[in-house]
């Protein structure tokens, strides 16, 4: 029986059709495993081999990878959402309503985008917690910890700029409350301590963020561009640096 199956397998893999699709066989050798990683554009950020404890869920919690996965989900669903959304005060809210009620799977698309964004905030905080608990920020990974802190802020800012886009009461007032504190920036905010004479509410740091003295149509456009273009680009660059440094600093941390 076993012999028979083996013969059939060889017959198929030796056939002209099979050989035209798969150029060579898949050997179970270390060389093959190494090439599989090195020659693949998606996998080549990985080293060919890692220490065994890097596979251990109890050690890594998988949180860094989950954060990246959540970023990818928000990127894909975000691009799809952009087809149906216009960032103007006239259309924004009704576009979201249209998406929810008339677009096939529109509600699911929006749900996935929002919950993946929330998931990313949770996983990035837990990732930082794990990295601290295992002392993984210590030499030679000091700089990469700093990059990670900036990425944490970028994640918060990505989520915060996206919060405004549905243009409903929840969005409007959450962003109003969240940006109100910028008034009180020392020196640069018009209600902050030591604000010099020329600083008013029409030219302080909050005005730069909102493009107005209150949250308005120009804020919506500004947050839209930050959310869809500027901050994702920044996040991508920093993530590339972060992953690169994980590799260059000796891979995932472990006792030496």
Partner 1 sequence: MEHFIALVTKPDNVPIVAILFLIPYFLWLSYRQARQTDLAGVPSDAALNDKVYVWPYLCRNEFICAIIVMLVLGIWSITIDAPLEEPSDPTKTPNPSKAPWYFLALQEMLVYFDPWVAGVVLPGLIIAGLIAIPYVDINPKGKGYYTIKERPFALAVFCFGFIILWIVLMVVGTFLRGPGWNFFAPWQKWDPHLVVPLTNVNLSYLFGIRDEPTANFFGFVVVAGYYALGPIFYVWKQKSSRFLQELGLVRYILVSFLFLTMLALPIKMVLRLGLNIKYVWVSPWFNI
Q: Which of residues 87-126 bind partner 1 (CB under 8 A)?
A: 93, 96-97, 100, 107-108, 110-116, 118-119, 121-122, 126
Rounded to a whole number of angstroms, the minimum distance from the CB of residue 185 to partner 1 is: 5
Write each residue from 21 to 60 as x if it is in contact with partner 1 (CB under 8 A), else as -, in one continuous string.
Answer: ---------x--xx-xx-----x--xxxxxxxxxx-xxx-
Within 176-195, the residues that bind partner 1 by CB under 8 A are: 176-178, 180-186, 189, 191-194
Rounded to a whole number of angstroms, the minimum distance from the CB of residue 225 to partner 1 is: 19
* 167 near partner 1 (CB under 8 A): yes
* 76 near partner 1 (CB under 8 A): no
Peptide bond preceding 242: is omega within 30 degrees of 0, i.e. cis?
no
If the CB atoms of residues 103 and 126 are measured against partner 1, the closer one turns out to be 126
Residue from 76, 174, 238, 239 that binds partner 1 (CB under 8 A)?
Answer: 174
Residue from 85, 172, 207, 223 that binds partner 1 (CB under 8 A)?
Answer: 172
b/e string for 74-112 if b means 16 or more Cβ within 10 A?
beebbebbeeebebeeeebbebbeebeeebeebeebbeb
CB within 8 A of 33, min separation 6: which ones?
Answer: 48
* 244 near partner 1 (CB under 8 A): no
Say if residues 175 and 212 touch (Cβ distance below 8 Å).
Answer: no
* 7 near partner 1 (CB under 8 A): no
Rounded to a whole number of angstroms, the minimum distance from the CB of residue 28 to partner 1 is: 10
CB within 8 A of 43, min separation 6: which ones?
Answer: 36, 37
Length of the chain counted residue by residue: 256
Class of residue 72 by CB neighbours under 10 A (exposed 0-12, middle 13-18, buried 19+): exposed
CB within 8 A of 190, min separation 6: which ones?
Answer: 183, 199, 200, 201, 204, 206
Distance from C-alpha of 32 to C-alpha of 26, rounded to nearest angstrom: 8
Rounded to a whole number of angstroms, the minimum distance from the CB of residue 79 to partner 1 is: 17
Rounded to a whole number of angstroms, the minimum distance from the CB of residue 88 to partner 1 is: 13
* 221 near partner 1 (CB under 8 A): no
């Amino acid at each position: 029986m076993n012999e028979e199956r083996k013969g059939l397998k060889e017959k198929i893999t030796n056939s002209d059709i099979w050989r035209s699709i798969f150029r060579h066989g898949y050997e179970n050798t270390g060389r093959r495993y190494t090439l599989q990683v090195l020659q693949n554009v998606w996998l080549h950020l990985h080293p060919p081999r890692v220490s065994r404890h890097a596979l251990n869920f109890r050690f890594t919690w998988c949180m860094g990878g989950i954060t990246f996965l959540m970023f990818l989900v928000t990127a894909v669903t975000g691009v799809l959402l952009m087809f149906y959304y216009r960032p103007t005060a006239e259309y924004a809210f009704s576009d979201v309503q249209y998406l929810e009620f008339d677009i096939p799977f529109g509600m699911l698309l929006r749900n996935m985008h929002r919950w993946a964004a929330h998931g990313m905030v949770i996983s990035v905080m837990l990732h930082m917690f794990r990295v601290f608990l295992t002392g993984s920020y210590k030499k030679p990974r000091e700089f990469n910890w700093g990059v990670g802190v900036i990425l944490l802020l970028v994640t918060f800012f990505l989520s915060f700029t996206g919060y405004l886009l549905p243009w409903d009461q929840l969005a409007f007032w959450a962003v109003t409350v969240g940006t109100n504190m910028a008034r009180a920036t020392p020196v640069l905010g018009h209600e902050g301590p030591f604000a010099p004479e020329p600083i008013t509410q029409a030219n302080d740091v909050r005005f730069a963020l909102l493009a107005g003295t209150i949250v308005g149509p120009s804020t919506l456009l500004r947050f839209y561009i930050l959310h869809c273009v500027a901050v994702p680009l920044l996040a991508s660059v920093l993530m590339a640096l972060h992953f690169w440094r994980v590799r260059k600093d000796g891979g995932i941390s472990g006792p030496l």
